[in-house]
Amino acid sequence: MKATELFSVRDLSVVVTGGANGLGSAFARAMADNGAQVTLFDLDGEAAAAKANELGRNGGATDWLQLDLTNKAALAAAFATVMKRRGKLDVLFANAGIVAGPGFLNGDWQRAPAGAIENIPLDLWRQVQNVNLKATFSAIQASVPYMKQNGGGRIIVTSSTASLRVSPAVGVAYGVTKAGLNQLVRQLAVELASLNIRVNAILPGPFQTRITTPEMQAAFNRASPVGRAAELHEIEGLALLLASNASNFMTGGLYPIDGGLLLGKVD
């Protein structure tokens, strides 16, 4: 089969949460540039409108909806709007996430008081759980009935290498929520397999986005075998694989894209 057919996402109805910026915008670009009908869900309506406009200039039919993903009613309304506009839902990139403040080590590898366990505010813990874990769960929950109705679908969750490896430069709540997402993906992959809904996770290592602080960047560069953070477009191939028929037999997978970060560097 030709690669253009095997990896085709043409005419698929795709929702990308957190699609206005960073990795979400790269997922959206990979889809829109290849003929999918993309809808961006994002808190930042202005950035979402600008991104949809930009993607539309390359011919991709891109729409956007402004909403807070932690609001369950708003999520339900947003998916209903997608169904009204597109008539179906094929793919969900459950991507939006936030960071969790500083990690327990600073740039000089000294213990950082702000990220130390005894000083982390419970409100920060709750906020990170709310966005990264609860809102992702709610988005998946809202999307499943429409995929079921459509005879199947694909759910692609953005986890992180911080779910498998201790990242001392990243606040503890972050890795904990991402580890939770990995188990959600594995559990749902089994539950939804008979409905022809495939569920997989992408585990990005360091990508250059606005959530990458200089401290994180320095720590990543130090730990990474390839010695650099990735550029956004470098995630597009994996996005096309997981959204297309090329991954028909793949479900419950946790796929790192990390320049070897999880393996570690030879000293």
Ligand X SMILES: NC(=O)c1ccc[n+]([C@@H]2O[C@H](COP(=O)([O-])OP(=O)(O)OC[C@H]3O[C@@H](n4cnc5c(N)ncnc54)[C@H](O)[C@@H]3O)[C@@H](O)[C@H]2O)c1
Rounded CA gap, 207 and 212, in Å? 7
Among 141, 150, 196, 209, binds ligand X (CB under 6 A): 209
Among 16, 43, 139, 242, binds ligand X (CB under 6 A): 43
- Least separation in angstroms between CB 27 and ligand X: 9
Which residues have C-beta within 8 Å of that of residue 77, sequence separation ≥ 6? 67
- What is the residue type of 61? A
Rounded CA gap, 90 and 140, in Å? 12
- Least separation in angstroms between CB 30 and ligand X: 14
Total chain residues near ligand X (CB under 6 A): 28
Binding to ligand X by residue 160, rule CB under 6 A?
yes
User: Between 8 and 202, whose beta carbon lies closer to ligand X?
Assistant: 202
Burial 23-38 (b: 16+ CB within 10 A, else e): bbbbbbbbbbbbebbb
Rounded CA gap, 192 and 198, in Å? 7
- Least separation in angstroms between CB 89 and ligand X: 18
Binding to ligand X by residue 215, rule CB under 6 A?
no
Binding to ligand X by residue 131, rule CB under 6 A?
yes
User: Between 17 and 251, whose beta carbon lies closer to ligand X?
Assistant: 17
Q: Is residue 66 a contact partner of residue 48, using CB atoms and an 8 Å limit?
A: yes
Among 127, 212, 213, 217, binds ligand X (CB under 6 A): 212
Among 45, 70, 125, 213, binds ligand X (CB under 6 A): 70
Binding to ligand X by residue 211, rule CB under 6 A?
yes
Binding to ligand X by residue 218, rule CB under 6 A?
no
Binding to ligand X by residue 44, rule CB under 6 A?
yes
Rounded CA gap, 51 and 247, in Å? 27
Pairing of strands 61-66, 91-94: unpaired
Binding mask 97-126 for ligand X (x = CB under 6 A): xx----------------------------
- Least separation in angstroms between CB 259 and ligand X: 11
Which residues have C-beta within 8 Å of that of residue 181, sequence separation ≥ 6? 132, 133, 136, 157, 159, 163, 201
Binding to ligand X by residue 95, rule CB under 6 A?
yes
Rounded CA gap, 104 and 99, in Å? 14
User: Between 18 and 103, whose beta carbon lies closer to ligand X?
Assistant: 18
- What is the residue type of 40? L
User: Between 8 and 132, whose beta carbon lies closer to ligand X?
Assistant: 132
Binding to ligand X by residue 18, rule CB under 6 A?
yes
Best CA proximity match to 177, nearest among 143, 199, 201: 201
SS3 content of the chain, % helix, strand, coil (to 5): 50, 15, 35
Binding to ligand X by residue 127, rule CB under 6 A?
no
Q: Which residues of the chain form contacts with ligand X (CB under 6 A)?
A: 18, 20-24, 42-44, 47, 68-70, 95-98, 131, 135, 158, 160, 204, 206-207, 209-212
